[in-house]
Amino acid sequence: MSAVTSIAGLLKVSAEKKLPLWKTVQLTDCAEQDMSEADSWEKMKNMLSVMREADQSYDSRRRSLSGLSGGDGGKMEDYVRSGRSISGPLVGEIIAAALRMGECNACMKRIVAAPTAGACGVLPAVIIPCGKAMGLPDERLIEALYAAAGVGQVIALRASISGAQSGCQAEIGAASAMAAAALTHMAGGTSQQIANASALALKSLLGLVCDPVGGLVEVPCVKRNAAGAVIALTAAEMSLAGIESRVPPDEVIDAMREVGEKMSPTLRETAEGGLADTETARKFRERDEAAIRHGPGLT
Amino acid sequence: MSIFDILGPVMVGPSSSHTAGAVRMGQMTRRLLGGEPESAEILLSGSFALTGEGHGTPRAILAGLMGMDPDDERIPQSFELAGEHGIKFSFGTVNLRNAHPNSALIRAKRDGRGVEVGASSPGGGRIRVFSLDGLPTSFSGEVPTLIVRCEDRPGHVSRVTGAVAAQGINMSKLQVERDTRGGTALMVIECDQRIPYKVKVAISAIEGIYNVTRLNPGEESK
Ligand code: SF4
């Protein structure tokens, strides 16, 4: 059983070699890519730095070329700071961080695709604020990124991580499963709990369609990052509490693939259905191309 | 597939196909031209034409033509930067029949020489060139690739491949296309090993060879 084609395989190899899940992911990839452990670690460390840089350079005044995105991360921050947040500062900050990263992507800033550009906000939104709140060293966050990547790789190989192929469940859904795995590792969960958390997250987003307004990676993508991040937190909490997914992770991933295959092509990134085919979306589409060209632009 | 295809690439948003892949198309054109263009005409097709503006596709292609990588934070300012560099550029749309929805035709000129590259970006930031100077072809540049434009005459294929083999390089794929008999021919040779400069020199010395481009992944070739 291979550690890259099934979660069960990943767990089996980890158990046999008595390695933490993240380490199995790293070693398997190093062997496959003929890369040293040190180089791989440096590369992963760089991913964390780029995520942080993007987060810190967020500018709430910046707008996307279409004018559809920007500013919401700032609104969320202000709200959390006001103390009125229902769920409190940590969850508030997770939501704000996801919006910030999604907007950075929409506004042509440098991001880490995780697993795609559209879903790039989910993973950093849980690991950065939670790492801070839990007082964890960066090493732990980097390990968590390996755990996330391992889960993402199995999803990519067994199903897909492309909205055009399987809908948004394969982008925000996969990102949420990856983030749940990362968070469970950070909290000291077992390999079983890490795998289980990813299944719980993915199950919650099964069936999510890809329906970007105007065909742009903005609406609903940016806000779905926030939802995906909070679902990851929910899944990690349940898994750490000892709650199990009745359907094991590999079967959930296979179900995701099947749902993707049954999904109408109009709901797979073609912008012909769902939110992309609403009255408002059509109005947006009809806007003169020139309006986009000479619109608010990148400020 | 590496885990860094899952966590990564590091790129400027918003879309791996419409932005990151578009930068790669520009870079590829720059390489086939042999340097920075003096002028460029960029024609977008399909989904690139429909949603390219909002995805920053024109800015991304131009950034690639200027040699920027997909993670370069100057990509959004490429219009202004191209202006400063004195690069003349224009955009339009074209209907490339039978091409992938995310496609573009890029015409670039430098030192009195021009290239026309037809390329598509199917996803994940990867690209595929499907036409070069009007001749059909298919290559991605993900493996070492040698592109030779020459006069169509007998013996050229064996002399060119001979020069490659003489350096101990194994060819994995050879494509030959020509416009008219005795006209211009295009050879695309994909190899298992990195292509050294010596090979380019040896091929360039053959009579009737117009132009040789080496594409070694991860290296900017001049
Ligand atoms: S709606 Fe489509 S484009 Fe947007 S994040 Fe989801 S899968 Fe990606």
Which CATH number fits the domain that encloses residue B165? 3.30.70.260
In a domain, B122, yes or no: yes
Residue A297 confidence (pLDDT):
43
In this predicted model, what pLDDT tens digit does every residue of A147-197 receive, in sequence order?
A: 999 999 999 999 999 998 999 999 999 999 999 999 999 999 999 999 999
- How far apart, in whole angstroms, are the C-alpha atoms of residue B11 and residue A160? 20
In a domain, B221, yes or no: no
The reply to whether B170 and B97 lie within a common domain is no
- Containing domain of residue B13, as a range? 6-132
In a domain, B94, yes or no: yes
- Closest-CA distance of chain B to residue A285, Å: 10
Residue type, A209: V
In a domain, B137, yes or no: no
Please indicate if any CB of chain B lies within 8 Å of the CB of A298.
yes
In a domain, B158, yes or no: yes
The reply to whether B90 and B166 lie within a common domain is no
Structure tokens at B17: 């196909």
Closest by CA position to B14, among listed A65, A271, A11: A65
Identify the three-state secondary structure at position B86.
coil
Q: Are residues B7 and A64, on separate chains, in Cβ contact within 8 Å?
A: no
Q: Which residue, chain included where needed, has tokens 């010395």?
A: B205
Q: State the pLDDT confidence band at A1, using cuts at 50, 70 and 90.
A: confident
Structure tokens at A50: 């780029």
In a domain, B1, yes or no: no
The reply to whether B97 and B160 lie within a common domain is no
In a domain, B155, yes or no: yes
Domain end position, chosen among B105, B132, B159: B132
In a domain, B140, yes or no: no
- CB contact at 8 A, A217 and B15: yes
Q: Is the pLDDT of residue B123 over 90?
A: no
Interface residues of chain B, partner chain A, Cβ below 8 Å: 1-16, 19-20, 47, 50-51, 53-56, 59, 71, 73, 75-76, 123-124
DSSP one-letter code for A159: S
In this predicted model, what pLDDT tens digit does every residue of A196-240 receive, in sequence order?
A: 999 999 999 999 999 999 999 999 999 999 999 999 999 999 999
Q: Is the CB of residue A201 below 6 angstroms from any atom belonging to ligand 1?
A: no
Q: B139 vs B181, which has greater pLDDT?
A: B139
| Residues with Cβ within 8 Å of residue A31, at least 6 apart in sequence | none
The reply to whether B91 and B149 lie within a common domain is no
Q: Which residues of B touch A216 (CB under 8 A)?
A: 14, 51, 54-55
How many domains are there within chain B? 2
- How far apart, in whole angstroms, are the C-alpha atoms of residue B172 and residue B183? 26
The reply to whether B24 and B126 lie within a common domain is yes
| CATH of the structural domain A7-33+40-294, one choice from 1.10.4100, 3.40.50, 1.10.1760, 1.10.540 | 1.10.4100
State which ligand 1 atom lies nearest to the alpha carbon of A119: 5
Q: Where are the domains of chain A?
A: 7-33+40-294
Q: Is the CB of residue A217 below 6 angstroms from any atom belonging to ligand 1?
A: yes
Residues, chain A: 299
Q: Residue A171: beta bridge partners?
A: none
Residue A106 confidence (pLDDT):
97
- Closest-CA distance of chain B to residue A237, Å: 23
Please indicate if any CB of chain B lies within 8 Å of the CB of A161.
yes
The reply to whether B52 and B150 lie within a common domain is no
In this predicted model, what pLDDT tens digit does every residue of B63-121 receive, in sequence order?
A: 999 999 999 999 999 999 999 999 999 999 999 988 888 999 999 999 999 999 999 99
Q: At what angle do helices A89-106 and A72-81 cross, to 10 degrees?
A: 160
Domain end position, chosen among B106, B132, B158: B132
The reply to whether B76 and B163 lie within a common domain is no
Q: State the pLDDT confidence band at A299, using cuts at 50, 70 and 90.
A: very low
In this predicted model, what pLDDT tens digit does every residue of B151-205 receive, in sequence order?
A: 999 999 999 999 999 999 999 999 999 988 889 999 999 999 999 999 999 999 9
Q: Is the CB of residue A111 below 6 angstroms from any atom belonging to ligand 1?
A: no
The reply to whether B112 and B88 lie within a common domain is yes
The reply to whether B158 and B128 lie within a common domain is no
* Start-end of H helices in A107-170: 122-133, 138-158, 163-166
Residue A290 confidence (pLDDT):
45
pTM for the full model?
0.91
- How far apart, in whole angstroms, are the C-alpha atoms of residue B51 and residue B111? 33
State which ligand 1 atom lies nearest to the alpha carbon of B15: 3
Closest by CA position to A110, among listed B161, B215, B56: B56
A window 239-278, beta carbon within 8 A of B: 271
Closest by CA position to B212, among listed B153, B173, B163: B163
The reply to whether B123 and B20 lie within a common domain is yes
| Residues with Cβ within 8 Å of residue B72, at least 6 apart in sequence | B12, B23, B63
> Strand pairing of B88-93 and B39-46?
parallel
